[in-house]
Structures are given as C-alpha cells and as structure tokens.
Amino acid sequence: MTEAGPVPQRAVIVLPSTGEFDSRTYRIATTLLARGHEVTVLARWTNGLARDEVVPAGYRVVVGRDVGRGVLAAQQRVEQRPGQTAEGAARPRPVQHRDLELGCRQRA
C-alpha cells in the first residue's frame, strides 16, 4: 500500500498589518508552500508597496486599504444568513472568496 502525500490546497492568510516585517506569516506561508499548497497573503496597503506581487519565497501578497474591513463585512453577512441547527442556533458557514469580494465592493 502506498502512502499519499497532502492534497494540494489553497490557503489565504489575512493580516491586520502591512506584513512587511512579519516573520510568523513568512514561516507559515513557506511551510505551506513546501507541502505543495498555494498561498496568498492579504495585507494592508501603505505607500511603496506593490498592490499584487509574488515574493521571492514563492507566495502571493495582495495589499489593499480595507482588507480587514472587507473580511469583517463578509463575516457579518455570513452570520446573518438563515440556517438553523436542531438546537435552533445559527449554523456557521466558512467565509468564501465571493463573500470577500462583495465586502470589498461595498466599501468602494
């Protein structure tokens, strides 16, 4: 019997900062890359940063002014959606990429 390796997946790391000097994000992203995953880091924009780049380590960094606000707005929309469990509590649903896009567009 052969042992299968990890199934390649996509990971998104959302930062509350620019991430310019964030060694923890670097370690997480490069570890995921080494396991064969695709990694995108979302960070806040500041003067001098490229809007979208692939850093030498191999992961993508996308920066924007309202990254954190877009994620928060998307999470609030997800929590407001109908869906009940047997106990009557709201059933959680993961935030999806389309939710983030809608959150950012609402702020524009």
Find the DSSP H helices in the chain. Answer: 23-34, 67-80, 97-107
Q: Residue 84 has what pLDDT?
A: 47
Q: Residue 103 has what pLDDT?
A: 45
Q: Per-residue DSSP letters for 56-84?
A: TTS-EEEEETTHHHHHHHHHHHHHHS--B
Report how far apart, in Å, the C-alpha atoms of 69 and of each of 29, 37, 50, 60, 100 are. Answer: 22, 26, 20, 20, 10
Q: Residue 16 has what pLDDT?
A: 85
Residues 100, 41, 98, CA angle at the centre, nearest 5°? 15
Q: Residue 64 has what pLDDT?
A: 85
Residue pLDDT tens, the chain, 108 long? 567 777 899 999 988 888 888 999 999 999 999 999 999 999 988 888 888 999 999 999 999 876 666 566 666 665 665 554 445 555 555 555 555 544 444 444
pTM score, whole prediction = 0.61
The span from the CA of 68 to the CA of 48, in Å, is: 20
The span from the CA of 48 to the CA of 58, in Å, is: 20
